[in-house]
Structure 1
Amino acid sequence: MRDINKIAVLLFVRNAYEESKLKQLVKGESSKNVHLFKYLNKRIVNTVKQTDFDYFIIDSSHQHGNTFAERFKHAFKSIFEKGYDAVISLGNDTPQVSSQTLHDVVHCFENHDVVVGKTNLGGAYTIGLTKYAFSKCSFESVDWSTSRVVESIEKRAIFQGSSYFQLETVYTELSTHSDLKLFIQQLIEKEICLIEDYFFLGLIRPIKHHYNYRQLKMNALQIGVTEIRGSPAA
Structure 2
Amino acid sequence: MRDINKIAVLLFVRNAYEESKYKQLVKGESSKNVLLFKYLNKRIVNTVKQTNYDYFVIDCTNQHGDSFAERFKNAFKSIFEQGYDAVISLGNDTPQVSSDTIHEVVHQFKNHDVVVGKTNLGGAYTIGLTKYAFSKCSFESVDWSTSHVVESIEKRAIFQGSSYVQLATVYTELNTHSDLKLFIQLLIEKEISLVEDYFFLGLIPPVNHHYNYRQLKMNALQIGVTEIRGSPAA
Q: 1:232 to 1:209 in 2, by over 3 A?
A: farther
1:210 to 183, 193, 214: 214
Name the SS for the 2:121 alignment partner. Answer: coil
Contact 1:10 1:55 survives alignment (8 Å): yes
User: Residue 192 of structure 1 corresponds to which residue in structure 2?
Assistant: 192
Contact 2:32 2:203 survives alignment (8 Å): no
Aligned amino acid, residue 156 of structure 1: R
Q: How does 1:23-102 map to 2 (within 5 A)?
A: 23-102=23-102
User: Residue 127 of structure 2 corresponds to which residue in structure 1?
Assistant: 127
Distance in 2 between the 1:117 and 1:163 partners?
Answer: 15
Aligned amino acid, residue 62 of structure 1: N
Whether 2:27 is the aligned partner of 1:16: answer no
Distance in 1 between the 2:172 and 2:77 partners?
Answer: 28
> Kindly, what percent of the aligned residue pairs are identical?
83
Normalised by the length of structure 2, the TM-score is 0.90
Q: 1:81 to 1:185 in 2, by over 3 A?
A: same
Displacement after TM superposition at 1:188 (Å): 0.2
Structure 1, unmatched stretches of 5+, are 216-230
Q: 1:232 to 1:214 in 2, by over 3 A?
A: closer
Name the SS for the 2:20 alignment partner. Answer: helix
Distance in 1 between the 2:229 and 2:215 partners?
Answer: 13
Residue by residue over 1:89-142, the C-alpha shift from the partner in whole angstroms, topping out at 9 and shown as x without a partner, is: 000000000000000000000000000000000000000000000000000000
Q: 1:214 to 1:185 in 2, by over 3 A?
A: farther
Name the SS for the 2:128 alignment partner. Answer: strand
Q: How does 1:163-174 map to 2 (within 5 A)?
A: 163-174=163-174
Distance in 1 between the 2:156 and 2:206 partners?
Answer: 47
Contact 1:13 1:60 survives alignment (8 Å): yes
Distance in 1 between the 2:165 and 2:213 partners?
Answer: 46
Normalised by the length of structure 1, the TM-score is 0.90
Whether 2:2 is the aligned partner of 1:2: answer yes
CA RMSD, Structure 1 to Structure 2 (Å): 1.8
Distance in 2 between the 1:211 and 1:7 partners?
Answer: 44
Aligned amino acid, residue 170 of structure 2: V
Distance in 2 between the 1:204 and 1:213 partners?
Answer: 14
Q: 1:29 to 1:232 in 2, by over 3 A?
A: farther
Distance in 1 between the 2:197 and 2:125 partners?
Answer: 19
Aligned amino acid, residue 198 of structure 2: Y
User: Residue 150 of structure 1 corresponds to which residue in structure 2?
Assistant: 150
Aligned length: 220
Q: 1:232 to 1:26 in 2, by over 3 A?
A: farther
Identify the range of structure 1 (196-205 vs 41-50) with the bigger mean alpha-carbon deviation. 196-205
Structure 2, unmatched stretches of 5+, are 220-227
Distance in 2 between the 1:192 and 1:161 partners?
Answer: 36
Contact 2:93 2:174 survives alignment (8 Å): yes
User: Residue 116 of structure 1 corresponds to which residue in structure 2?
Assistant: 116
Residue by residue over 1:36-59, the C-alpha shift from the partner in whole angstroms, topping out at 9 and shown as x without a partner, is: 000000000000000000000000
Displacement after TM superposition at 1:2 (Å): 1.6
Contact 1:65 1:71 survives alignment (8 Å): yes
Distance in 2 between the 1:15 and 1:55 partners?
Answer: 17
Contact 1:188 1:213 survives alignment (8 Å): no
Contact 1:202 1:232 survives alignment (8 Å): no
